[in-house]
Chain A
Amino acid sequence: MRDVFPVPGLTIKNISKSYGNTKVLDNVNIQIQDGEFGVIVGPSGSGKTTLLNIIAGFVKPDNGEIIMDGKILNQIPPRDRNIGMVFQEFGLFSHMTVRKNISFGLEIKKINKKDIGKKVTEIADTLKIGELLDKKPGILSGGEAQRVATGRTLVTNPLIFLFDEPMGNLDANLRREMVAEIKRLHLKLKKTFIYVTHDQEQALCVADRIIIMKEGRLLQEGHPRKIYNYPESFFVAEFFGIQSMNFINGIIITQENGSLFRGGGLTVMLKGYCPSEKTEVILGIRPEDIIIGNQIQEDGFGIISSLEFLGDINQVYLTLEQEKPLIAIISPKERYGLGEKVKIKLKENKAFLFSKEHGGRLYP
């Protein structure tokens, strides 16, 4: 059942921040909708954590505003912003028990003991940390600590939840599990979540909206599917996807109704792409979009240099006229031998072209 009050989203407007001569955030504009699970992704140094700290109110931006529910938050101190945050280092109060850590938020609001007890139990049940209540943070495992940190934020019923790379200290399996838990929490609470990570896998997994940042700038944002299928730049294309995209350097030769890409020994026809001049480009194609065989109309040839059996798919390494081999995914039914020369065709309309100069997407 939805709350009577609308759950507010967050508007990040023209935010810039520099430390000395380093520009950490450069005119960032993001709109997170009410109740959305927004994920800010990017390599380290892209300014994600700084942005989160600005949203929370720990850092003052040089320019721009943070707006929540129509109100400009800039001059409001963190404690009055009604935001919850899970920190990268968790920041659990090391001198208090888990129970006290969680009840702290209620105690400072002078809520009576019985109600506090109830709420703590409730949260402990939700996050399954009931057994940890009387322990001290020092002896908790990474996953446990993270749950306690999350529990601590739930207590004050904030309007927006911020997560700053909370999975950094956990191992891979635990990470997947915890991310799923956070997603479940989001579905249950229906509040706005803003999650910062450098792990694109996590992002693609849970986000309603992905925001990609690099070196302080916003590169692209949108639904995960859109990001995956329509990366706007070389960087974005390279960053996402469980299997990395293949990239081939080459040039464009214009023709009548389109153009030809030539590179790596392949010649690919691109309908409807008519650049004004010869451009140096990078062609991107995902492993699952490469067809190899002998009865196809080929774009080029390749020699199988390696075969990997991954269970339900086979991974094939094809050498072309370039250093890095192409990686293609084929079904287990197709059998090839090492050193075999095969025909390669790129699936129609699945190739991307990126400018070699500025990395922006040129096609489609």
Chain B
Amino acid sequence: MLLPTNVIILFLVVVPTILVIWLSLIDFQPNIQLNFWQSKFIIFRNYIDILKDKEFVYALIRTIAISIVCLGIEFTIGLLVASILSGEVFGKKVLFPILIIPLMIPSIVVGNNFWLIFSTNGPINQIIGKILNTQFVVSWLLHPQLALIPIVLSEVWRWYPLTFLILFSGLANISVSEIRAAQIIGANEWQIFRRIKLPKLKGIIAIALVIRMMESLKIFDTIHLLTRGGPGTSTQTLSYYLFKVGFQYSRVSYISAGAWIILFISIITFSFALRGIFGKEK
């Protein structure tokens, strides 16, 4: 009864999806020819090519690694802050909105901001310099490995409030009676957390993880603003790679194939993950 409404809207997604499938199966390069229905059908050559492309594979691995690190930090901070703020804290009502603010700021703004902070003349270098008592000048964003730090920090800062919020809601939904019962039986905060709260949060955590992971894998704005994928390709994520190849080199079909591969991998991974958490459903 209620699903048809969903179907109508999803339809809007299906048509372009079909287009993308088509695109991935042909050889369409807008800078060479403009009408895509005149392109040759080359079926799976795009897929094979892209899988052989080292840059693509590296971008894939790099993206997954970045996502895992980001999620790890986000969830740790989110859980920590949500737990503390669920309890008795002085000034809770003021802290709460303040802690949420980073989520409200558009990614590009955050990226830009962190660019400033980590720039050679920025405050980070200044602070570290003061601590180490020397002149500290590191071009964070131009360093192949170090550049990942501002990227990760930028993402985490921007998104930790979401996990915080979701976990906070989840914690608040836990029946007060159960928590009080555990308290009066003699459990300390940690025991209550580990044996009552955490098990009950499993479902919520799983959902938050899936949602964040999906978004995280598509990370683009931050990369674009902070490093443009560089230096070289050392901070290139999947989305950035697709962007570069698709827009700058105009190899649209190629990246369509890439997108499908990413989707395929995502579906498999998430299926396993969700199944593991929710058990088998009919």
Q: So, do A and B actually touch in the complex, CB under 8 Å?
A: yes
Question: Which of B182, B184, B186 is the one whose CB lies under 8 Å from A93?
Answer: B182
B184 touching A79 by the CB < 8 A rule? yes
A310 within 8 A of B: no
A-contacting residues, B59-78, CB 8 Å: none
Contact with A along B192-207 (1 / 0, CB 8 A): 0001100110000000
- CB distance B187 to A95 under 8 Å? no
Q: Quote the shortest CB–CB distance from B179 to chain A (angstroms).
A: 8
Q: Would you call A156 and B186 a contact (CB within 8 A)?
A: yes
* B180 and A105 form a contact (CB under 8 A): no
Interface residues in B161-215 by Cβ distance below 8 A to A read 175-178, 180-188, 191, 195-196, 199-200
Contacts of A84 in B (CB 8 A): 184-185
- If over half of B's interface residues share one DSSP class (helix, strand or loop), that class is named, otherwise mixed; here it is helix
CB distance from A72 to the nearest CB of B (A): 18
**Is the contact region of chain A dominated by helix, strand, or loop, or is it mixed?**
loop
Q: How far is the CA of A77 from the CA of B88 in the complex (A)?
A: 13
Of chain B, the residue at the smallest CB distance from A94 is B178
Determine if B184 and A78 form an interchain contact, defined as CB atoms under 8 angstroms apart: yes
CB distance from A107 to the nearest CB of B (A): 8
Docked-complex contact A56 and B182, CB < 8 angstroms: no
CA distance A94 to B173 in the complex (A): 13
Per a CB cutoff under 8 Å, which of B177, B184, B185 touches A89? Answer: B177
Q: How far is the CA of A56 from the CA of B185 in the complex (A)?
A: 11
Question: Is B175's CB under 8 angstroms from A109's CB?
Answer: no
Residues 198-248 of B contacting A (Cβ, < 8 Å): 199-200
With A and B bound together, what is the CA distance between A225 and B202 in angstroms?
53
B199→A95 contact, CB < 8 A: yes
> A152: CB under 8 A from chain B?
yes
B182 to chain A: which residues have CB within 8 Å?
93, 104
Residues of A within 8 A of B177 (CB): 87-91
The residue of chain B having its C-beta at the shortest distance from the C-beta of A82 within the complex is B186
A79 to B188, CA, bound (A): 7
**Provided the pairs A93-B196, A104-B195 are in contact, do residues A87 and B180 lie with their beta carbons within 8 angstroms?**
yes
Which of B175, B186, B188 meets A105, CB within 8 Å? Answer: B186
* Known pairs A56-B180, A104-B195; A91 contacts B185 (CB<8 A): no
Chain A min CB distance to B176 (Å): 8
Nearest chain-B residue to A100 (Cβ)?
Answer: B195
- A108 near B187 with CB under 8 A, answer yes
- Report whether A79 and B181 are in contact in the complex, using a CB–CB cutoff of 8 Å: no
Return the CB mask of A49-60 against B: 1 if under 8 Å, else 0.
Answer: 000000011100
Asked if A85 and B186 make an inter-chain contact with CB atoms under 8 angstroms apart, the answer reads no
Q: Please, which residue of chain A has its CB at the minimum distance from the CB of B196?
A: A93
The interface size of chain A toward B, counting residues with CB under 8 Å, comes to: 29
| Any B CB within 8 A of the CB of A92 | yes
A291 interface residue per 8 A CB criterion: no
Number of A-B residue pairs having CB atoms within 8 Å of each other in the complex: 67
Contact check, B175 vs A91: say whether CB atoms are below 8 A apart. Answer: yes
Q: Give the CA-CA distance A77 to B182 in the complex, in Å.
A: 12
Known: A56-B180, A89-B175, A90-B177. A108 touches B185 (CB 8 A): yes
Cα A156 to Cα B180 in complex, Å, equals: 15
Bound: A78/B180 CA distance, A: 8
Using Cβ atoms and an 8 Å threshold, which residues of chain A touch B186? 79-80, 105, 108-109, 156
Report the separation of the CA atoms of residues A344 and B177 in the bound assembly, to the nearest whole angstrom: 53
| Choice from B175, B184, B187 contacting A83 with Cβ under 8 Å | B184
Q: Which of A77, A79, A91 contacts B178 (CB 8 A)?
A: A91
Contact B180 A91 (CB under 8 A): yes
Q: Which residues of B contact A85 (CB under 8 A)?
A: 180-181, 184
Contacts of B180 in A (CB 8 A): 56, 58, 78, 85, 87, 91
Question: Which residues of chain A from 55 to 83 have a CB within 8 Å of any chain B CB?
Answer: 56-58, 77-81, 83
Residues in A whose Cβ lies below 8 Å from that of B176: 91
Beta-carbon contact of A152 and B188 below 8 Å? no
Known pairs A104-B195, A108-B191; A92 contacts B178 (CB<8 A): yes
Contact A77:B183 (CB < 8 A) given known A89-B175, A91-B178: yes
Across the interface, do A93 and B188 meet the contact criterion of CB distance under 8 Å? no
A109 contact set on B, CB distance < 8 A: 186
Contact A93 B191 (CB under 8 A): no
**A102 CA to B200 CA, complexed, in Å:** 18
B187, A93: Cβ atoms closer than 8 Å: no
Instruction: Enumerate chain A residues within 8 angstroms of B200, measured Cβ to Cβ.
Output: 94-95
Shortest Cβ distance from B56 into chain A, in angstroms?
43
CB of A140 to closest CB in B, whole Å:
15
Between A and B, 8 residue pairs with Cβ closer than 8 Å are A56-B180, A58-B180, A78-B184, A81-B184, A84-B185, A91-B181, A95-B200, A108-B188
**A contact set with B: CB distance below 8 Å:** 56-58, 77-81, 83-85, 87-95, 104-105, 108-109, 149, 152-153, 155-156
Sort A-B residue pairs by CB-CB distance and give the 4 closest, nearest first: A91-B177, A91-B181, A105-B185, A78-B183
Point out residues on B near A: beta carbons under 8 Å. 175-178, 180-188, 191, 195-196, 199-200
Q: A91-B178, A91-B180, A94-B175 are in contact. List 15 more A-B contacts (CB 8 A).
A: A56-B184, A78-B183, A78-B184, A83-B184, A87-B181, A88-B177, A91-B175, A92-B181, A93-B182, A95-B200, A105-B185, A108-B188, A108-B191, A149-B181, A155-B185
